[in-house]
Structure 1
């Protein structure tokens, strides 16, 4: 075997050979017609450096080569790169910089390959900066530090030119800004500190000047168009040449100058601000306003406030219109104006709910603004009626036969849905429930309901909105009526199977459950003999069904069909039970005085006056009255009017309407007292000891879903509970209450 001893390569010889390779690389970079490195040349360079690093000491020249590597860059930059950059300015300097940076990276790549053995062993063993980092650091220390501020100013000048509408070389800007990023070698410090900070200041100054001019000369929509365009263009700049990390900071600066600074001036512009846009239904402009201000912290608050105020004002206009129409009753026949008011409120809600959904992207802040606005005018007294009553009347008008609202089934369902949504804004939901129950009872008892499905539909919607307790009585009424029809069929079967039992009159009885229905006045009416027999027959039948239930007869809700035999013809009269009882007295007597009628029927004066008024002073004069005046007094005498005639063979004789509002309000007030009592006891039972303010607050919170309890009323109920020994005052502190078990 033969071992060949390699000749030791001395430093000067190796460096000279290496220098030739570096010179060739420089010539290639400078475009001096030098051919590219062949694989043989590359291998020779690599091997030479490898050998110089692997010779035994003292001929291991790794340290000297590492220093030479850095010198090569320093020398090239100082002699060639910097002079070429110093003689150029503005855009030309930027182009030259991009070229020099690209060349520098090529030089780093090639030299790092030649010196690769250093990286693998010498650098890692000594924990020195890698060759690639050394190459980039040379450029940073010599070129970047000297020129970065000039480069930054040149870039910002080009950006401003572009903002003014000039065409600029975006690729050049992207490449220049890439240098700021790359020079950080994985960190963004150089880009942020040496470029971004100044660029953001310049952006703020640029848009500050623009905004101060636009706010004076442009309308709100025009200003917003410009602002939106500016923001879009700035976003575009980020995507084309700025670093993506600048986007949030840049847009924030633009928004601050264009929107935040001028929010109030913009929204309150006299003929084109937010109020004007709402007034003139400028949907696109409102959508743009939302898009712009939604990106600004708390930017939507002032827009929502304007929206709330505008909707409130619109609602108050409707309230005023209803008031004006009500004071001029000649124009509004029998409460139709109130129906118009509710319909207009529904239309208003539809309109602005569409704004919330479409223009304001269903944002919760606008839902809240709409709710608060509607709560203001939906709780006003309109033409002497509360909105709770008006809403109940509106439902009644839709659901009863012959109502003024002629709507298709689909439209009725849609309208009922909207009414229930309006109910959410009304604080006196318990008052609505009571009025609605009164009207529902009339529809059910007098067969005035147009469609049972619609009745059930609105109850299910109310249940969804207000809870099961809210609708339990109403649902009970609907169920009760179904059972009552079944009961009536059983009664008919009972009569058919017992021919001996004959009431002598066609009789229909509706049996109801007391707890579900509104309370009705029952009187000790002395029924005529014909009617007494009917009542007895039904009582006998009912006792065969149940022994444990007591029947209370509500004659005021009954109707009778009786034949009136007049000289010209027989006319069927449809009357209330009381009216029929009065007329049946005239089968036995031709003339009866007021006091005789009163004695025979055992009625109170108020009721009797109403009855006699309907029969002798109204449209159909079935009785003649002496003296012939418009009002009934206790000295009057009545006789059957045999000469009465009418073109119809069947007529309904109505009773003068009774204002039930007072009774409903009284009932609700009574229920509220119980509810407040129950709430106070519930709270105190769990808390044992509580201060006055806290008790009132918790009570208001508990009851707020159904009605807004008056603080004075709560105070009064607390006093009442103290006298009834449910609570006691603390001896030391009178504002502290204790629960007494």
Structure 2
């Protein structure tokens, strides 16, 4: 034999060496008195297996070693692992299982490392399972398959105990569940089939029992608090010991039992359901309701419907209050308050969800296109803005006014006929400007800017021209005052202020053939001469109905300054030359209609300030009445304003808007028919509407 020839190791001799190593490792793992493996011992095991796998046939014992290792794994399970588990139950059994599984994995891993030669020269070439897989298979078949039901039930029992508030060993549960996944080589099949399915079934039953009890005992907010708390616990449970893949299905089961099953019953609880939460402004509870029901299929649909019903019920109540009280003054303010409240719900409670945005818009479109107390909402909103800008309703700070106007303009977007709002607001703006009732110029400008941003340039174009002209009124007056100073003979002897405006951008005002008093005739003549020199081709059309005068009333107690309209002043000046005048005489001398005469005579003889005495002394004006100057009239104030009775301009505004649309409609019909030549009526109407809607959108108006 050659000196370097290796000594043959037979199977019996080699396996005895391996058995000693296996026994020593088992003693170490069992905690018996035993020294740790030395480097020399480890090398001996490694070298023995190497030699037995690399000897030439018939002394290559790779197959026999492979089989011996399987037998050693099975023997360890049957002699050590299984007997230790058989007599234990519940949590004690789980602890023993985790410990035995850990020892067993360590033993298999150790001998896999020392048998690298077997893996390299035999297992890889034959495409056989590695020793670790062999070890897992043995444990799965001999331990796992026999104990999986007991293990599963014990783990689920611990989870249920934790759900009831008891403290459990979460690390133990996690280690057991890791075993379910490791035993199938991380494929999750055993975990899903042998544990997860049972866990989901148990969870559904557990929460079904809970929900059936809570729904009878708790209010809606209390129920939701518990549901949210328990859902959070389940999420926490997943993060600590359940695989992430279990979270969607587990939470779906819990949400179904707690929320889906009792959704309608919970949301419609009489004194605490969704209706009550909206009514009582329970923002936190509504937010919780949204968070919970957004997680279940179609869970938000019933809440959306209830929200829309709530908004509709609120504005229906407002309308009834207005109609019962026959006073629509505060209706727009109430709608703004409701809008703020509902917008806060959508933004804060419902997290800007599209479903709630749609319900919100549907409800407010219905509200903002409803007639209230005989007035359209467009008119009421325009009046509200007018009151704010004149600070008539209450004294507000600049910030409060800006905020209120911004809120009001949000409602404009919901009005379908924005042209109606435009016309109402334009008329009120015109009156504020003409009678100098706007609190401040910058507020007027700010409002126009907001309207332009909200509705587009064309919407505010006429109003902007009105404001520009009004701002230039002082220049005209300055020129006229200079003219009078250079021509003292032309001075009428009356302080005259004239506002010259372009008829194209201002509302249409009725012109009358009022017979002015001589004093006023001279004023008109002087200004005409002045203006003719300024602009030769311009034509002046005097609107006496918009004129105001300051008249000195010489009453017996004392003189008093009366601020009146041109009509009222003309009527009063008649009494400078007559002590008593009949209705017909006043009408004839002033050359006015019955409606105009009745209106200003009522303000002078039947209203708050009785400047004229009327016979008979009734509260209405008749053609047979006679009037005398009330020389004994008294008042604590030295200056008083005598307003005319208000005129309902609603009908005229509506007519003006309809007239304004007549020309675009006619033009649209002409364009369509030129292009189509022949078209049936229904199709013509459809295309005409489409063109007009396009025109509206170009103006920046929302449909």
The alignment's TM-score, normalised by the length of structure 2, stands at 0.89
CA contact (8 A) 1:428 1:707 kept: no
Gap change, CA 1:616 and 1:305, over 3 Å in 2: closer
String of CA shifts for 1:365-386, please: whole Å, max 9, x gaps. Answer: 3333333333344433322222
Structure 1 residue 557: deviation in Å?
0.6
Secondary structure of the structure 2 residue equivalent to 1:129: coil
Gap change, CA 1:297 and 1:608, over 3 Å in 2: same
CA contact (8 A) 1:625 1:638 kept: yes
Gap change, CA 1:118 and 1:488, over 3 Å in 2: farther
Structure 1 residue 445: deviation in Å?
0.8
Larger RCO (alpha carbons 8 Å, 6+ apart): 2
Q: What is aligned with 2:303?
A: 303
2-structure distance, mates of 1:687, 1:55: 101
CA contact (8 A) 2:207 2:254 kept: yes
Q: What is aligned with 1:723?
A: none
CA contact (8 A) 2:612 2:629 kept: yes
CA contact (8 A) 2:552 2:560 kept: yes
Identify the match of residue 369 of structure 1 among 347, 359, 363: 359
Is 2:191 aligned against 1:191?
Answer: yes
Secondary structure of the structure 2 residue equivalent to 1:506: coil
CA contact (8 A) 1:559 1:576 kept: yes
Gap change, CA 1:687 and 1:105, over 3 Å in 2: farther
Structure 1 residue 591: deviation in Å?
5.8
Residues 227-246 of structure 1 correspond to what in structure 2 (within 5 A)? 227-246=227-246
Q: What is aligned with 1:657?
A: 646
Q: What is aligned with 2:103?
A: 103
Q: What is aligned with 1:486?
A: 475
Q: What is aligned with 1:398?
A: 388
Q: What is aligned with 1:524?
A: 513
Q: Which runs of 5 or more residues in structure 2 are unaligned?
A: none
The alignment's TM-score, normalised by the length of structure 1, stands at 0.85
Structure 1 residue 29: deviation in Å?
2.5
Structure 1 residue 119: deviation in Å?
3.2
Q: Which runs of 5 or more residues in structure 1 are unaligned?
A: 327-336, 710-741
Is 2:468 aligned against 1:468?
Answer: no
CA contact (8 A) 1:700 1:708 kept: no
String of CA shifts for 1:624-669, please: whole Å, max 9, x gaps. Answer: 5666665545555656556656554433333232221221122223
Identify the match of residue 340 of structure 1 among 330, 333, 348: 330
Q: What is aligned with 1:712?
A: none
Structure 1 residue 554: deviation in Å?
1.2
Gap change, CA 1:485 and 1:131, over 3 Å in 2: farther
String of CA shifts for 1:260-292, please: whole Å, max 9, x gaps. Answer: 000001111222222223333434333332222
Structure 1 residue 96: deviation in Å?
2.0
1-structure distance, mates of 2:606, 2:97: 108
Q: What is aligned with 1:76?
A: 76
Q: What is aligned with 1:17?
A: 17
2-structure distance, mates of 1:568, 1:168: 99
2-structure distance, mates of 1:238, 1:389: 59
CA contact (8 A) 1:427 1:707 kept: no
1-structure distance, mates of 2:609, 2:91: 103
CA contact (8 A) 1:679 1:703 kept: no
Is 2:522 aligned against 1:533?
Answer: yes
2-structure distance, mates of 1:642, 1:438: 37
CA contact (8 A) 1:676 1:699 kept: no
Secondary structure of the structure 2 residue equivalent to 1:571: strand
Q: What is aligned with 1:726?
A: none
Q: What is aligned with 1:453?
A: 442
Q: What is aligned with 1:224?
A: 224
Structure 1 residue 231: deviation in Å?
1.2
Is 2:430 aligned against 1:415?
Answer: no
Is 2:499 aligned against 1:510?
Answer: yes
Gap change, CA 1:75 and 1:289, over 3 Å in 2: same
Residues 253-652 of structure 1 correspond to what in structure 2 (within 5 A)? 253-326=253-326, 337-400=327-390, 403-547=392-536, 549-566=538-555, 569-587=558-576, 594-595=583-584, 597-623=586-612, 631-634=620-623, 646=635, 648-652=637-641
Structure 1 residue 102: deviation in Å?
0.3
Instruction: Give the CA RMSD over aligned residues.
Output: 3.2
1-structure distance, mates of 2:686, 2:12: 95
Q: What is aligned with 1:179?
A: 179
Structure 1 residue 103: deviation in Å?
0.9
CA contact (8 A) 2:94 2:151 kept: yes
CA contact (8 A) 1:10 1:59 kept: yes
Residues 23-62 of structure 1 correspond to what in structure 2 (within 5 A)? 23-62=23-62
Q: What is aligned with 1:66?
A: 66
2-structure distance, mates of 1:568, 1:221: 72
CA contact (8 A) 1:319 1:377 kept: no
CA contact (8 A) 1:356 1:366 kept: yes
Structure 1 residue 362: deviation in Å?
3.9
Q: What is aligned with 1:117?
A: 117
2-structure distance, mates of 1:184, 1:666: 83
String of CA shifts for 1:141-182, please: whole Å, max 9, x gaps. Answer: 332223223321222222223333443332221111010111
CA contact (8 A) 1:430 1:707 kept: no
String of CA shifts for 1:685-717, please: whole Å, max 9, x gaps. Answer: 9999796496488579658879999xxxxxxxx
String of CA shifts for 1:556-580, please: whole Å, max 9, x gaps. Answer: 1111223344565543332212233
Q: What is aligned with 1:331?
A: none
String of CA shifts for 1:436-495, please: whole Å, max 9, x gaps. Answer: 222111111111111222222233333333333332222222222112222222322333
Secondary structure of the structure 2 residue equivalent to 1:560: strand
2-structure distance, mates of 1:49, 1:681: 103
